[in-house]
Chains A and B, each alone.
Chain A
Amino acid sequence: MSVELVWALITGAALFGVGIYGALSQTNLVMIMMGVELILAGALINLVAFWRYLHPDAMSGQMFVLIVMTVMALEMAVGFGVAIARFRSKGSVEMEEAAELKE
């Protein structure tokens, strides 16, 4: 087994774990989005590693990376749109104060 592939996959796993921790533990919408960014970063490194070490001839691997990067940008754009709307109506983007969204 390639050391490089295992290193990259362990990095992806660590970023995924840190991202999960951040997305679940933070109370601020912007910080939660940072957690989601780290989760997607973990997916990115896995995709690049699989392309490079297992299927370097299949360019669909790199295309998947572009799609994940697009998802990252979209998540930020829509997330900030929601944050602006929430801040304008309630004066805060704290999730602890957003319990009424459940009702």
Chain B
Amino acid sequence: MITGQSIFIGFFGVAAVWFGIVVFRTFSMVRSAIALLFSQTALGAMFLTMQAEFLGVLQIMMMATEMSIMAFFMVMFMMDPGGMGKMEMTHQKRLSLIVGLVSFVGAVAIAIFIDWGPVATTVADTAQQTKALGLELLGRSMLVFEMAGVTILTAMIAATSVAIQPLPLSAIKHKKDRV
């Protein structure tokens, strides 16, 4: 049955996919980053429509920050960030298109032909959901949650150590001598 929720999910779903396609269709890298931001925001709006308010707001906030940073990096690293020269930056297009289409058709077939069982019509309100999620994170799933924290710390250290400019050997020796 078509409901208001299904119409909004369909609308935001189409928007998310459309902006996802625009990411790889535009020559401008800034537009590409902004299209990805819109795609992720539409996804956040879908979460809100599905009554997962906490996750929806988190998704929009996180992706807004992440994509802003990404836009900076794209301008720094791309040879033609504005897309004025219309440089071709793709390879093996046909193979990629076939693999992408096969993945899409396979996943859609699974979505449509599998019997997912009874569907829940109601869900707890936001305050109860957030409380239950907090209890889940600090109860049964605490180890997983803590592992995520440690992994973030490790990734921060790894990313920083990879990114910093290594000192030349002579500079290190000079520093040691001064100590």
Contacts and interface: CB of A to CB of B under 8 A. Distances in A.
Interface footprint category on A = 35 or more
Given A56-B124, A69-B59, A14 B132 contact: no
A37 B103 CA distance: 16
A74 B155 contact: yes
Contacts, number: 244
B155 A78 contact: yes
Interface in B76-133: 76-79, 89-93, 95-97, 99-101, 103-104, 106-108, 110-112, 115-117, 119-120, 122-124, 129, 132-133
B50 A73 contact: no
Contact of B162 (A2, A25, A33, A85): A85
Dominant SS at the A interface? helix
- Central interface residue in B58, B59, B129, by most chain A CB within 10 Å: B59
A54 B103 CA distance: 23
B59 A9 contact: no
Given A4-B5, A15-B17, A52-B52, A83 B90 contact: no
Contacts of B151: 70, 74
A30 B62 contact: no
Contacts of A87: 76-77
Nearest to B95: A24
Contact of A62 (B66, B73, B91, B129): B129
- Central interface residue in B54, B58, B108, by most chain A CB within 10 Å: B108
Interface in A39-70: 41-42, 44-45, 48-49, 51-57, 59-60, 62-63, 65-67, 69-70
Interface footprint category on B = 35 or more
Interface in A1-40: 1-22, 24-31, 33-35, 37-38
Contacts of B33: 34
A63 to B, nearest CB: 5
Nearest to A23: B96
Contacts of B129: 59, 62
A87 B101 CA distance: 33
Interface in B48-80: 50-52, 54-55, 58-59, 62, 66, 69-70, 73-74, 76-79
Given A9-B107, A9-B110, A76-B66, 9 more contacts: A3-B3, A7-B9, A12-B107, A27-B90, A35-B24, A54-B119, A63-B145, A70-B151, A87-B77
16 contacts: A10-B13, A13-B108, A15-B43, A17-B103, A17-B107, A18-B20, A25-B93, A33-B70, A34-B23, A34-B70, A59-B136, A72-B62, A73-B66, A78-B159, A81-B158, A84-B162
